[in-house]
């Protein structure tokens, strides 16, 4: 993976422009009181995707692995699952500390999501394994967007991209990005880019500001991405993209699940 990243070059970084301090447990809990939310009734009976940027304390990887196994077992009892775990290897856009892991967990509904988080057994496991292992965490509870696309599913052998997207204020910029995105999505599959998730957070917890959208996709090859970054059609669309966005964090990494 590291060799592949070195081969990416400036053209790849140009393309990707599309789409920490140590804390005690008490400090972590205090940081996590920074909550942004909207009425969860807007997603009643809809699938929920929870996204977490996880920063681990040094030497606590094994404890956190045990948390994932034990917590995942309980999650499955509620009809949910850990859908994807990505270990970022580089930040292609933005200024933010690189998380150790990015988690995507799915739930049948917001009601199930809330019941799971109130489960006494899960709370016990979280307090015993997760809290001592985590240095910092930001969580975005999300719903599916109305963007229509052919969803494909990769595997742990693929290279993944995760984009946290922040629009400039004003409906015109949202519409402009949608138009840009419709155009690039017609081009990107030609170069082996596949789309897994397009979701919109409606509540968040932690120090990272809640994005307007989160996109996840995977790549067949880095060579294909380099070629796409220099494609004339893509180059012509970049100014439209840049004008619409206030901020963008773009992570590239490997999937462990």
**Residue, of 152 and 149, whose pLDDT is higher:** 152
Would you say 45 and 10 are in contact if contact means Cβ atoms under 8 Å apart?
no
Where does the pLDDT of residue 153 fall: very low under 50, low under 70, confident under 90, or very high at 90 and above? confident
**Domain extent listing, the chain:** 2-19+23-255
Q: Please write the tens of the pLDDT for every residue from 83-136.
A: 999 999 999 899 999 999 999 999 999 999 999 999 999 999 999 999 999 999
Where does the pLDDT of residue 155 fall: very low under 50, low under 70, confident under 90, or very high at 90 and above? confident
Q: What is the mean pLDDT of residues 237-243?
A: 93
Q: Is the pLDDT of residue 150 over 80?
A: no
Q: Tell me: domain 2-19+23-255, CATH 3.40.1030.10, correct?
A: no
Q: Is the pLDDT of residue 58 over 90?
A: yes
Task: Give the pairing type, strands 48-56 and 101-107.
Answer: antiparallel
């Amino acid at each position: 993976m590291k060799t592949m990243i070195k081969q990416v070059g400036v053209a790849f970084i140009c393309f990707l422009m599309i789409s920490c301090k140590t804390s005690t447990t008490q400090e972590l809990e205090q940081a996590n009181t920074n909550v942004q939310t909207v009425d969860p009734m807007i997603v009643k009976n809809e699938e929920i995707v929870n996204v977490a940027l996880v920063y681990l304390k040094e030497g606590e990887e094994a404890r956190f692995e045990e948390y994932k196994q034990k917590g995942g077992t309980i999650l499955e009892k509620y009809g949910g699952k850990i859908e994807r775990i990505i270990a970022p290897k580089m930040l292609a856009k933005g200024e933010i500390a690189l998380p150790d892991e990015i988690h995507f967990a799915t739930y049948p509904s917001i009601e199930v999501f809330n019941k799971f988080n109130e489960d006494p057994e899960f709370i016990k496991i979280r307090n015993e394994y997760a809290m001592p292992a985590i240095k910092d965490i930001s969580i975005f509870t999300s719903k599916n967007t109305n963007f229509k696309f052919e969803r494909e599913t990769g595997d742990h052998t693929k290279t993944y991209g995760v984009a946290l997207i922040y629009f400039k204020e004003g409906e015109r910029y949202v519409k402009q990005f949608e138009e840009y995105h419709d155009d690039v999505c017609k081009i990107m599959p030609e170069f082996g880019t596949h789309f897994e998730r397009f979701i919109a957070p409606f509540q968040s917890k932690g120090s990272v500001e809640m994005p307007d959208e989160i996109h996840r996709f995977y790549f067949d090859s880095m060579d294909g991405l380099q070629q796409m970054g220099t494609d004339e059609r893509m180059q012509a669309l970049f100014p439209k993209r840049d004008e619409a966005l206030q901020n963008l964090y773009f992570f590239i990494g490997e999937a462990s699940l």
